[in-house]
Structure 1
């Protein structure tokens, strides 16, 4: 099976990158399926993992789909499949489903230069994966990388708590997709036993040059000459490099776009505040103007509110007003009786003059 589409429901099941164990899907399969769809979709995912570059390419295809994408993990989303799950607007774990996040891995046979090249490629994928996990979970890329290095397995509730899923659904999980779970360091024992019992072996799908083979090419490669093998591998390597470059370029573009959107939003906020505070109606009502800005009011709304509010009256600070208020507070106004106000004031002034040596 490649990709099943029924209405707005898309099912991705099996190995990421090829049909290794009788079930699988590729980036090309997914792109072809999405091309025939319009509007919001729900992707049902059940995969033990596969090829890292294919997982990254499928994530990109879903993340840039022109419509809402919700993802339901029906059985398992491990390795490259867990990255695909991060493309969902929402990620729902079926009851009993699991998710696994780890550093991309490969097998290298060769000299030190070949090992070094594999390390370089894996590190590049790991850094890109960590940024995508961070975007979904709200964690830092470094925190996500630590989770990846530990090969972390999550049940539904744990995935939600960690931020990699949004909810743990009530629907019962389907049996996990076929995969060689022995390739993972901390896979549940039941998964490992199942892989062994059903001969889900990944070893036969990796050749001596460390390149992943398709199920169909396992038999075909035996009939190829050395030159044909070399040409085929060179072409495959060129394709993988081109895909990797495209994914990195797409990711860089998306990051730059997000940064620009943030900068634009901050500038718009600053401009809105400046416009509100510059309103004639804001004079004498500066505190209210700040409150309206913080509450998200636009300039027109702030202007209307400020225009209807009373202007703040600054307290008098003249010496004469202060002295009047002080004398009144000391009851020198003779209890406030109008007929005695002038006499009280004259008496107060006379006493003040005497204190100052005046007659």
Structure 2
């Protein structure tokens, strides 16, 4: 979880991965229609939050949340999370939108929900926050770097402290744990198994198959 805006440059590997996005062909009375897999999942109200959280990714997630809510605010939205975390402001933009929309947002952790992603995973609709059996959750305090004059370094340090207070208060609210425990447990990297995340109160249950979605 980082305070600073990050500049993410697409590497050759990332560009290669983008070319591997499958295309789904569907038959209809009007003929064939091709979708990329993410657009097809969106038809089923599924949003994939995968990879580092930064502005471009956050804007895409936000747009999908708003679209699905406008389409039908009575039906749940399913947010699948596999992310190492990222920029706090980008994550908070997603968080605020999850609360802004009328539709319940179910969260399902697969793989890892680390740092800012753990906040989002625990911020799904109460009773609808899940993990797959071998998923992990990582909570810790924000990090950031600063350089320049002493005043600038002091300002950056103060912002990190503000961010930590905000994040820990959200984790306390989402989990039901006392803020003192959250402060202690996020001093260092704190890895939780799916069951441990449920016991801690960050999630509500472990999902073993898609039929268990509510």
* TM-score, normalising length: structure 2: 0.71
Corresponding residue for residue 13 of structure 1: 50
| SS across alignment from 1:36 | helix
Deviation at 1:11? Answer: 1.1
1:128 and 2:166 aligned: yes
Question: 1:257-272 maps to which residues of 2 (within 5 A)?
Answer: none
Matches within 5 A, 1:60-79: 60-79=96-115
1:111 aligns with 2:142: no
**TM-score, length of structure 1 as denominator length:** 0.44
Which one has the bigger strand percentage?
A: 2
Mind listing any 5+ residue stretches in structure 2 that lack a counterpart? 1-17, 19-36
Alignment length, in residue pairs? 165
Is the 2:82–2:109 contact (alpha carbons within 8 Å) kept by the matching residues of 1?
Answer: yes
Residues 57-96 of structure 1: pairs in structure 2 closer than 5 A: 57-89=93-125, 90-96=128-134
Tell me how far 1:171 sits from its aligned partner. 4.8
Whole-angstrom CA distance in 2 between matches of 1:146 and 1:63? 27
Task: Report the Cα distance in structure 2 between the residues aligned to 1:115 and 1:87, rounded to whole angstroms.
Answer: 31
Q: Does 1:169 align with 2:169?
A: no
Q: Is the 8 A contact 1:59 1:86 kept in 2?
A: no
Structure of higher CA gyration radius = 1
Distance 1:6 1:105 in 2: 37
Q: CA deviation at 1:81?
A: 0.8
Counterparts of residues 187-336 of structure 1 (less than 5 Å): none
Contact 1:56 1:83 survives alignment (8 Å): no
Match of 2:81 in 1: 45
CA RMSD of the aligned region, Å? 2.0
Quick check: which one's helix share is greater? 1
Relative CO higher for 1 or 2, CA cutoff 8 Å, sep ≥ 6? 2
- Secondary structure of the equivalent of 2:186? helix
What's the counterpart of residue 90 of structure 2?
54
**C-alpha separation between the residues in 1 aligned to 2:164 and 2:95?**
14
Q: Give the deviation of 1:57 after TM superposition.
A: 1.6
Following the alignment from structure 2 to structure 1, what is the Cα–Cα distance between the partners of residues 179 and 99?
Answer: 19
Counterparts of 1:91 and 1:71, CA distance in 2:
5
Secondary structure of the equivalent of 1:149? coil
Gaps of 5+ in 1: 20-24, 173-359
Structure 1 residue 112 displacement after superposition? 2.0
Partner residue in 2 for 1:33? 64
Counterpart-to-counterpart distance in 1, 2:91 and 2:55: 11
